Structure 1
Amino acid sequence: MFNRYVDVLSNLPEYSKNVFRSNYFSWLLNQCKGWGKFSYGLLFFNFILQVFSLIQSFQVAPLQSILSFIGGNLSVACVIGISNRSGIQGWAGALSAICIASVGFMAGNFATAWEQIGYLLFLDIFCILDPKWNDNIQAEKFENAREWIYYISFFAVAWGIIYYIFSMTSDPRVFLDSLNLAMAITGSLLELNRKREQYFVWTISSVFTIALWIQTMLQGDGNFALIFSYGVFFLNDMYAFFSSRGWFKTTI
């Protein structure tokens, strides 16, 4: 399960050469080429929405607005990069995680902030060091109903523990906030085990994250930026479910 982590950490000097090379930035730029029209359309659509959010909220909370704008754009670039198996996903994910975590701490969504830090430490950094991190991955279906029970039970226990921990903080939205972190941990476990059913978790997670940031905005602690970006995630999920090249018609 953790072989890729062990490999990168054991050979860190060698993997660091993937970053410290003369043509690295031109290589990164080329990673943004050759995507499908739908991917570029989502990027542009999200950018327009993010500009609207920035204009709408800048005078009230300039720093949070700028961080949300950057995080909202880069997080969508990361997800679309993953869909296109692009090496840009590492940097886009890392920078967006820093921005969204900062916004999460400012808004009091502490569980969501730590979720982003987890992505940064255990996914984005490794994707940067190893551009082929997601290559040659074959997704597997659950073999029986017991696997559903196992992961649902894991989610329930994780949510209970996370809710208890963050209920001792000043988190004003601990129900949805802890729910999102528990779903992220469950989805990550499914991803580590290369289970195709992870995509149900990520799609449902997008819906609850949208609900969290809507509640955050209504309570005066946020803006439209992350609502828009997670809405785009959901559109991307729907495309992946139902397109001819989607998750359930091909392997990943």
Structure 2
Amino acid sequence: MFNKYYEVLTNLPAYSHNIFRKDYLPWLIKQCLGWGTFSYALLAFNFILQLISVFSSFNANPLLAIITFIGGNLSVACVIGISNRSGIQGWAGLISALCIAWAAYLAGNFATVCEQLGYIIFLDIFCILDPQWNSTMEAAKIESKKEWLGYGLFFLITWLACFNIFSLTSDPRVFLDSLTLAMAITGSLMELNRKREQYYIWTLASIFTIALWSQTMLAGDGNFALIFSYSVFLLNDFYAFFSVKGWFRTI
């Protein structure tokens, strides 16, 4: 289960050469080429939405508007990069996670802060060090009700723990905030075990995250940027479900 993490950590000098090489920047740029039309359309659509958000919220809080604009664009680039198995996902994920964590901290969504930092530590850094992190991924299907039950119990226990922990803080939206964190942890576990049904979890997580940031914006602690980006995530998830070349048709 943790073989890939062990391999990277025990060979860190060798993997660090993937970053400190002369052609690294041109290589990163090439990672954004050759994607499908739908991927580029989502990027462009999200960029337009992010422009609307930054212009509408700039006067109220210029720094927050700019940070969420960057996070909103790069988070979508990261997710689409993952769909295209592109090496750009590591840097896009890391920078966007920092932006979203900063916005979440200001809003008091402390569970989301932990979620984003977890992505950085357990996913983004390793994707940067190993450009081929997802290139040989082979997804497996959940075969039994017992396995489904196991993931369901894991989610419920995780949510209960997150809810109780963050109830001790001043988190104003602890129900939704802890729920999205529990979904992220469960989805990450399924991703680690390469279960294709993880897309059910990520789809639900997108829906509840949209609800979380909608509440945050209505309370005056956020803007449309992350609502827009997670809505695009949802479109990408639907594509994975129903496209002929999507996740469930190619595995």
Normalised by the length of structure 2, the TM-score is 0.99
- The residue type equivalent to 1:204 in the other structure is L
Q: Does 1:235 align with 2:243?
A: no
Match of 2:126? 126
What's the counterpart of residue 180 of structure 1? 180
Q: Which residue in the other structure is 2:135 paired with?
A: 135
Q: Name the amino acid aligned to 1:180.
A: T
AA aligned opposite 2:51: V
Q: Counterpart in 2 of 1:80? A: 80
Code of the aligned partner of 1:197: E
For residues 104-115 of structure 1, what are the structure 2 equivalents within 5 Å?
Answer: 104-115=104-115
CA distance in structure 2 between the partners assigned to 1:53 and 1:143 by the alignment: 43
Q: In the aligned structure 2, how far is the partner of 1:31 from the partner of 1:194?
A: 23
Give structure 1 regions of 4+ aligned residues with deviation exceeding 2 angstroms.
Answer: none
Aligned equivalent of 2:15: 15
Q: Does 1:116 align with 2:116?
A: yes
1:214-235, CA deviations, whole angstroms, 9 ceiling, x for partnerless residues? Answer: 0000111000000000000000
What TM-score, normalized by structure 1, do the two folds share?
0.99
Report what 2:25 is aligned to.
Answer: 25
SS in 1 for 2:249: coil
Letter in 2 for 1:174: V
Where do 5+ consecutive residues of structure 1 fail to align? Answer: none
Give the match's secondary structure for 1:4.
helix
Aligned letter for 1:236? N
Please name the residue that 2:92 is paired with. 92
CA distances 1:3-58 after superposition (whole Å, capped 9, x unpaired): 00000000000000000000000000000000111111100100010011001111
TM-fit CA distance, 1:246: 1.2
Q: How many residues align?
A: 251
Q: Give distance in 1, aligned partners of 2:173 and 2:116.
A: 17
Report the Cα offset of residue 213 of structure 1.
Answer: 0.3
CA distance in 2, matches of 1:51, 1:135: 33
Letter in 1 for 2:123: L
Secondary structure at the counterpart of residue 19 of structure 2: coil
Match of 2:51, SS state, is: helix
Unaligned runs of 5+ in 2: none
**Partner of 1:52 in structure 2?**
52
Q: CA deviation at 1:196?
A: 1.1
CA distance in 1, matches of 2:248, 2:39: 19
